[in-house]
Structure 1
Amino acid sequence: MNQRIRVLVVDDSEFFGTLVSGELERLYDMEVVQATGSEEALERLDDGFECIVSDYDMPGTDGIELFEMVRDRGFEMPFFLLTAAGSEEVASRAITAGIDDYFPKTSGDDQFDILGNRIKNIVTKRRTAASLERQRLLHEQLWNVTQELLTAGSHEQMCGQVCQRLVEIDRFAFTWVQTPDETTLGSAGVESVDLGSIKDRLADENADGAAWLTSTQLSLADGTERTVVTVPLEHRGERHGSLVVGSEPGVDFRESDRQSLSHLGTTIGHALAATEMRREVELFQTAVEQAETAIAITDTSGCITYANSAFYEITGYEPDSLRQSSVDRLASESFDAGDYERLWDRVTDGETVRREVVQRRRDGGQFVADLSVAPVAVEGELQRFIIVESDITELKAREQRLEVMNRVIRHNLRNDLNVVTGNISLLLSELESEEGIAHAERAQAKIEDLLDLSEKARLANRIVETTNDDEKHTEASLSAVVDAVVTDLDDQYPDATLQATVEESTPVPEGPLEICLRELVTNAIVHDEDSPEVTVSARASATHEGMVEVDIADNGPGIPKVERQTLERGHETDLEHSSSLGLWLVHWVVTFLGGELRIVDAAEDGSTVRILVPTGADD
């Protein structure tokens, strides 16, 4: 729509003023208003003129002084000066003051062509510049709106912010956002209009149901004419609602306004969909975060991008400290970095892998994990691995205890009781002889062995159950625990030679470590029938921070192969089983402390057993 240029002509000569006005209207279809002096011109400044044409030589206030008064009042429209005198001094003053152009009055008709073309060119440039600036400001404000969409916490907050921002923009008087079922999510400026009436009119026009932007001219009950634009809010073909924007009275929206609102509608539709998706993601993330099962997500190289609280809890790391770290940071001697690489290869090939692995915590302690790793593909392309694992150390230990206890009941106790029964039978028939006494003593010894075996089983359960409790074991220095065990057993077995060296004393769990040392040292003594020599050496682990190593070395017959294999395998079979409960007792205790039991050397001329346990020192 072409808008006529409004011009204010100021001249104290009514004849010349009428002549100029008439020519501008006739030749250029301008809308011209006349004023016969400066005072009248100043009174008309608020009438929306885009240009002023003024005579220079007027009584009281000349044309240059009028220009300066117009500028002082904050009006920046183009100003043209006409004068009958071709004075260079006047021209110089006009240029210095900042007047747009200066024209001498002549008798020829071409002066009106020159004036009209000059007005048209300058006003057109001003309009274009103003339009571009307005469009820039509109885009800037709409950009601010889109940025706020990214931080809105809910649909209502988002739509409320959008509406408030829109009514702060020139030409937009009221606005609201509604869902497809016409629930209002946000509004602004609607207090100034009859919202119910507008909605009814839009429903009659079927504007809200359209799948594209519609513009409707409404004559409201208050007598005003409004332009109302309805913008569909869609994302990927799904309708999320409508944005409705109304104009100031008598103002129509430009095509650029409609385009900008259309783009904004696309952005809002995307933001509404994104907010809904964010809600679902947050719900899912909350569920994952609160899950008792450890869950982690990695990239395709096994580098952790997310892990929930349970994962950090079972691995002993601080929350988020493993982000961007490889999962093989948890590698142990039983399942090392190479094993993880082979695991990633299988999952990369599309396989979901589940297996039991031994992982190492931050403090150096180990635990058994039921590990499951699955590939995550998006549109057929591998993107992530998802890891789900549980700490099954206690479960595995319980399984081991059940296996061992089953073996003890089925094998050791049964065989020993058979021996006891046979000896008692002989005792009954030969009680008065020395041989009968020997049989009785032998039976008594076997009974004592059974009692000792039973006591160890009971002790193992008690230590393990205590280790599972939230209550911490009493702590003592490493040197104090070692010295106490060695001194006590030295008195108990005077024929044995016992030595102890402790390179560094640090807090350790007193009760469990004492039981382990006592069992291992006693076992080394009683299995050497000649001259048992046992050395206990303790130190901070050089390979595992926060752990201590205690070696028990003897000169005895060594640990039988079947005993070693049974412990390394972690379970017993009908054909291969341990003959005693002592090593299992130590294994259970150090395992539940987060440590390890290792047979370092098992030669025929002696053996070395090493236990690693966490220190009690604070991190």
Structure 2
Amino acid sequence: MEGKVSILHVDDERSMRDLTETFLERNEQFTVETVPSAEEGLERIEAHPPDCVVSDYDMTKLDGLEFLEAVREQHPNLPFILFTGKGSEEVASDAIAAGVTDYLQKSGGSEHYELLANRIHNAVQARREAKRADKQERFTSQALDTLEDVFYVLNEDGSFRRWNNRLSEITGYPSQELAEMHATGLFPENEHNKVHDAIETALTSGEVTEKIDLLTADGDRRPHEFRGTRLTDGDGEPTGIVWIGRDLTDRRQQERRFRALVEESKDIISVIDSSGRFQYQSPSVKHILGYDPDETVGNMAWDYIHPDDRDRVIEQVEEQVANPDSESRTIEYRARHADGSWRWMEANGNNQLDNPAVEGHIITSRDTTERKDRQQELKKYKTIVQSLTDAVYVVDNNGRFTYVNDEFVELVGYDRETIVGNTPSLIKDENAVDRANRQLGRLLSTDGPNTISFEVTIHPRTGDPFVCEDHMGVLPYDDEEFEGSVGVLRDITEQKEYEQTIEAENERLAEFTGIVSHDLQTPLGVVETRLELAQQECESDHLHKARDALDRSQTLIDDLLILAQEGSQVVEFERVELTHVSKQCWESVETDQTTLQVEDVPVINADRSRIKRLFENLYSNAVNHGGSDVTVRVGTMDDGFYVADTGSGIPESEQEAVFEAGYSTNEEGTGFGLRIVEEVADAHGWELSVTESKQGGARFEMSGVETIE
């Protein structure tokens, strides 16, 4: 339902006013004003009429029925719901007799207030739809009343049955005189025989057209073209004649006026004569069906309808024409587009015999192809949903389940008959329902997301409550009206356990790195200081070897800390130009006479600091194992990049072992360099492999890399 709904709630008991207001304002569409008496309620309505009135019955001074009667005197169509704690058949009967919109007795429980909200929604929706229908009807009537043609309906004997105001305006005869006249009285005496012949022809052949001067009460003659069409009963027997008279001098002006009313319409407005041919088509037929409106005039309307729909449409239109007093009917059919395709249309037809500018049947058609396509898509989605392993539900715009799949039934433990038609409060507590409603409000906001995920506690029919992840979205809109929401419930129990495990591992990792980075640093610092003092006092090879061992220990600690830190997944990515980073890292490595060659490598999404460590460690590995004259090349692959060297390479039997922590063929190496490279690749979600380069050296490949350029 479009727009806010203003509600005036009248109740002389404050606690009930506050409680009702609280429940109603949970609906974001509702705005509620409360007053303690019917007298104040009448003042509020007089100043600012609400969309709906909700009133108690048993109140002092004016009770609910008296209040209703007073409202109906000034506002006969204002939705009025009697919401009373005192109920009886007599009260209900009196309320209905006084024109109450709905009657609802108070009772405990939130479901009753949900029912009240639903009744309010339905009442206001019905009122708004009625207003729109009345507005459309007034528009149609006013549009047709602006046309200057005259029409009247004759009985078989030529007496008047009904006529339009235009006939009285042109002829000067008041309605009372027309009611007592014969049709010949409207024409000059020398035209009476022609009139009698035209009536007889229309009754026998079904249709006649004559040009006859119309005689006014003042004796003036006005040239008109009259067209008579026979009216028949259900058995095909004639019951009268419809006559439409058009002033030939004003014909073109009248057509322009009619077309001006419809040429801006987004719907197709067509006029079809009794033979089924187009007399007129509005300009919208061009952009909807691709036809030039003028080129369709004179063509059979039925030829544009799909053969499978044609007979049904003709039957419904003919039935409407034969019953001019019946209500308009909606007809669905497929219409042929100018390009040969078929478009679904929805048409409303009215027998427009009281329209002086229309000599036939007016049909308003709307393109509903997109809506039909959505319906077909929904059918396919339903089939897909049936095959899902997650629990799926659909809730309508009244907040009630309309569909659940088998997994949902199994998850909550209730049978489908109990779930469908019930509200989510069946499986959720009040807080969970409120939270879901707030999330739905975010989805419906103009700047809200398309889908929302949030945790919710489910209370099954049996067993303990459990936590699920609710993935919610709204159903496709039809005519911009909210149809409901769809959701998927997924047990994340395992996810919670995984998160707890990861959290515990992180805590242990933090404890470990703390020990390594702090507790070990203190004794190592003491050793370093003692060595410096010892070297100042004496010179010994043992002290130099101790210094080397201390430096190696520090290097091991540094690499170990880096290795521990690289194990976590990358959370924040940024734009990294590999060409620039690879060259920058080369400058930080002691490369002697070695050479770097960089191809046109891509720009990627990555953690810049970790990418630097990856290149630095791969460069160091190439220099340490490839010699002082090694050449290192950085290049591009289809889904990533590589770093290759011209060194001695890695035997195939050792290509997996090189990534193990502590593995090194260099006595001075820590064995953590390539392990760190592997951790950086894993943290980015890449796949790392090692093979032989074209020059016989080692080639390290990173695949599955997300590139930007």
Structure showing greater relative contact order (alpha-carbon pairs closer than 8 Å, 6 or more residues apart): 1
Q: TM-score, normalised by structure 2?
A: 0.30
Q: Specify the structure having the higher radius of gyration (Cα).
A: 1
